[in-house]
Structure 1
Amino acid sequence: MKKIDLACIIDDDPIFVFSAKKIMELADFCNGFLVFGNGEEALNHLRALISSDKELPDVILLDLNMPVMDGWEFLENFIQIKSEKAITIYIVSSSVDPSDINKAKSYDHVNNYIVKPVTIDSLKKVLKNHKA
């Protein structure tokens, strides 16, 4: 399996971010990370990358419950941005609420819904499904 160049984690929980990065390293998942603590910070940074033609992430792991701008608000705004590169989004949440899972499936830009914690197996599935 070919690993991902750049992965983006959007999550306000520093413990989750730390553990996700460690698991990504163990799974040989990606060459680099972008990490943002809320949707607004991520949206602003990703917009700047798109407008300056800089490297964009291949995959976004998006939490739903965050301060400032939650995952749903990020998603609604992000899908409005025109980009040459297709970025695969995975919702990564502790929520097992069927309404959250069904809502995530209603977005064409969302590839899958991963229930926390992220595991090596869940990352290997992401890699297997990723079109390099």
Structure 2
Amino acid sequence: MKSPTVELACIIDDDKVYVNLVKKIIETKKLCENLMIFRNGKQSIEYFEALMENMKEDSIPEIIFLDLNMPVMDGWEFLERFTKIKNKFNKVITLYVVSSSINPLDVNRAKSLSSVKDYLIKPINISELENIFCKPTD
């Protein structure tokens, strides 16, 4: 397997156990250089909107893992706002929805959005993560 080319990834999820598990896998397997974690959509969208104003390209993650069910602002609300600003960044941002929901309505709704690369069902496994980080993201 080739070495990871991802500098910065982002997890937006309120499930501490899941976040810690994924973080541990990413660190152990050295899948990316840096990892940002947000506990809800509001924290993360405020971060991205501030980045857009400052145009700090090096602070923009290449990969985002987004949960749908979170307090304060859920994944759907985040996606609605993120889709409006995503193309203003001069960087390819690959977004994966990661949810425990197996509801076909959620899966199809997420996959129908141009800003969503794929829908992954929790728990995500090590080989899925390795494949995401070690392949071209476009």
Match of 2:99 among 93, 105, 117: 93
Aligned to 2:15: 13
Which amino acid letter does the alignment assign opposite residue 66 of structure 2? L
Q: CA-to-partner distance for each residue in 1:25-59, whole Å, 9 max, x for gaps?
A: 23321111111010010000112123222220000
Q: SS in structure 1 opposite 2:84?
A: coil
2-side partners of 1:87 and 1:71: how far apart?
16
Match of 1:39 among 22, 31, 41: 41
Q: How many positions carry a matched residue from both structures?
A: 132
Query: Do 1:11 and 1:17's aligned partners in 2 also have CA atoms closer than 8 Å?
Result: yes
**Aligned runs of 1:1-132 on 2, under 5 Å?**
1-3=2-4, 4-54=6-56, 55-81=59-85, 82-131=88-137
Q: What's the CA shift for 1:118?
A: 2.0
| Regions of 4+ moved over 4 Å | none
TM-score w.r.t. the length of structure 1 is 0.93
> Tell me, which stretches of 5 or more residues in structure 2 are unaligned?
none
Q: What RMSD over aligned residues (CA atoms) do the two structures have, in Å?
A: 1.5
Q: SS in structure 1 opposite 2:21?
A: helix
State the identity as a percent.
Answer: 45
Which amino acid letter does the alignment assign opposite residue 106 of structure 2? D
Greater fraction helix: 2
Which amino acid letter does the alignment assign opposite residue 59 of structure 1? I
Query: Do 2:32 and 2:133's aligned partners in 1 also have CA atoms closer than 8 Å?
Result: no
Which amino acid letter does the alignment assign opposite residue 109 of structure 1? S
